[in-house]
Amino acid sequence: MKPRRALNSDVIHMPSWKQVLKNFDKRLDHDEIDEFLDHLNASLNRRIKRLEEEERTLSPEQFEDPRDIDGYRDHLGDLAASVYAAKALGDELSIIALYKKVEAHTVRVVKKKVPTAATANLSYFKQLCGALPFDIKTVDGFAGFNELRLLNNSIKHEEKVSPELAKEFPLWTRGAELSELDKAFQRLLPEVKKYVADLAERLYAAAP
């Protein structure tokens, strides 16, 4: 019996190696940041629940001197405050880690597709802008990337909302405490993923 001749519908077209690399360069890998946040938040939530349960079940009869219950409640409050401080630190670290991911990815792709950028320090925003063959502000998702960049700088250098961040993004108040960074992370993540994808797409299109 002769083998059946493959029909056109049976042929599997594999993408070219160039397309595989392009698809890889368009994707921002942030799995380890997600896992870090999942583990941290789960641990902190368990700790808060235990503290709340302990406070709920407190009674004066548990103490040799019933008046000591107020001091112990204050102690539990201090422990809870330390948990929330750890949560805030974790949120700061997630912003910094996400920006480092985007920055490293950007540097790698730009230097691969733009030969003249080989000696540039693309960690500096002005040098990155000068190395690109197009205006970085026209890249899809740039606003999210830029807000993440300025937020990262605020965390590392100001420890509060910097003048530049407040000027570029009025939803942040100059000199204010950097709060609700977990919400900022979730809001900015889809935008920086769009930025990475469009930046790579345009760099591949502009490359000789």
DSSP three-state, residue 30: coil
CA neighbor of 148 nearest in space, from 113, 110, 194, 109: 194
Residue 4 predicted with pLDDT over 60: no
The angle at the Cα of 178, spanning 29 to 36, to the nearest 5 degrees, equals: 30
pTM of the model: 0.84
- Report d(CA 176, CA 205) in Å as an integer: 42
Which residues, including other chains, have CB under 8 Å from residue 103's CB and lie 6 or more apart? Answer: 123
Domain ranges for the chain, please list them.
Answer: 30-206
pLDDT digits (tens, 9 = 90+) for 68-93: 888 888 898 999 999 999 999 999 99
Element at 143 (helix H, strand E): helix 142-153
Report H helices in 61-132. Answer: 68-113, 125-131
